[in-house]
Amino acid sequence: MDMNRFKGVFTALVTPFKNNRVDEDAFVRLVERQIAAGVHGLVPVGTTGETSTLSHEEHRRVVKLCVDTARNRVPVIAGAGSNSTAEALDFIRHASDCGADAALVVTPYYNRPSQEGLYQHYASLAAATAMPIFVYNVPSRTSVDISNDTLARLSALPGIAGVKDATGDLARPSIQRKLCGPSWVMLSGDDPSGLGYMAHGGHGCISVTSNVAPGACAAFYEACLAEDYGAARDLQDRLIHLHKALFLDASPAPTKFALARLGLCEDAVRLPISPCDPSAHAAIIAAMEEAGASA
């Protein structure tokens, strides 16, 4: 597969709910809006998609709905992580059967495996499927941090395509460029530090903010990929308050509030996430206006 397809902004899609069920009509509208706005790819059922509170049936349905709606217009990286290696493999195989382009596999949470355990987890997944796998490193949520040295070992395996790095550590892409080689795809998972990540050699971002402002986020990453950092800084200035505002409450509640304000879906979330606190509303609205976010 051409790894150049995995560059730019990939939206970490929310999963809209209505009456505590997946709102499939709203999800299709969200996907179509993203593609029309020029995003470079889509990521269903990741953290922002509330995968932890979806049933397995709902998880599989959302992946299939995303792939079917995208119709190969942009690549789809399907969330497929679990703290059980066998369960993660089941999700990967389903994503592959649906026609997704790659799988996003979070480091196993709660188990707190060693670096060797992490290596064996990903190596066994890569050996069992032909689907490209992205390692999702988000130690703030999983309590485990996969090291650059372990990523270097994994980069030698043909099935491991790259990383989604949500650490905010801007030294990592520079180090990984040296350790993992030119084919290693580096995607940020931290919107506010995306400018620095790209300047260090990153290839794109799996973004929360692009749910709300997909056109501006796509333009930002296109400017970065063209090494037009003057234009990128101007876009960063438009987006930075929105990047921060969407985490004024537990994600994705602020993002769903913003999308509801745009009339795109309800602001419903699933417990233990609660609806966005009203104290954050004014800051989110102001940041949306600054970013030029519209339906």
CA 195 to chain centroid = 16
pLDDT reported for residue 1: 60
Which fold is adopted by the domain 3-236?
TIM Barrel (3.20.20)
Q: Which of 136, 197, 221, 256 is catalytic?
A: 136
Residue 218: name the closest of 47, 36, 4, 13 by CA.
36
Residue 176: name the closest of 229, 125, 137, 124 by CA.
137
pLDDT at 4 over 80: yes
C-alpha angle 37-205-120 in degrees, rounded to nearest 5: 135
Q: What is the pTM of this model?
A: 0.97
* Known active-site residue 164: yes
Q: Report how far residue 136's alpha carbon sits from residue 145's, in angstroms, rounded to the nearest whole number.
A: 10
Domain locations in the chain?
Answer: 3-236
pLDDT reported for residue 21: 98
DSSP 135-191: EEE-HHHHS----HHHHHHHHTSTTEEEEEE-S--TTHHHHHHHHH-TT-EEEES-G
Q: Report how far residue 230's alpha carbon sits from residue 69's, in angstroms, rounded to the nearest whole number.
A: 35
> To which H or E segment does residue 29 belong?
helix 24-37
* Percent of the chain at pLDDT exceeding 90: 98
Q: What is the pLDDT of residues 219-257, one digit of tens each?
A: 999 999 999 999 999 999 999 999 999 999 999 999 999
Q: Report how far residue 289's alpha carbon sits from residue 287's, in angstroms, rounded to the nearest whole number.
A: 5
* Known active-site residue 244: no
Residue 198: name the closest of 160, 246, 236 by CA.
236
Question: Which of the four pLDDT bands, split at 50, 70 and 90, describes residue 295?
Answer: confident
Q: What is the pLDDT of residues 107-149, one digit of tens each?
A: 999 999 999 999 999 999 999 999 999 999 999 999 999 999 9
* Percent of the chain at pLDDT exceeding 70: 100
pLDDT reported for residue 3: 75
Write the CB contacts of 169 (distance below 8 Å, at least 6 apart in sequence): none
Amino acid at 61: R
Q: Which of 164, 197, 221, 256 is catalytic?
A: 164
3-state secondary structure of 258: helix
What is the token pair recorded at 28? 């299709």
Peptide bond into 113 cis (omega under 30): no
Question: Which of the four pLDDT bands, split at 50, 70 and 90, describes residue 291?
Answer: very high
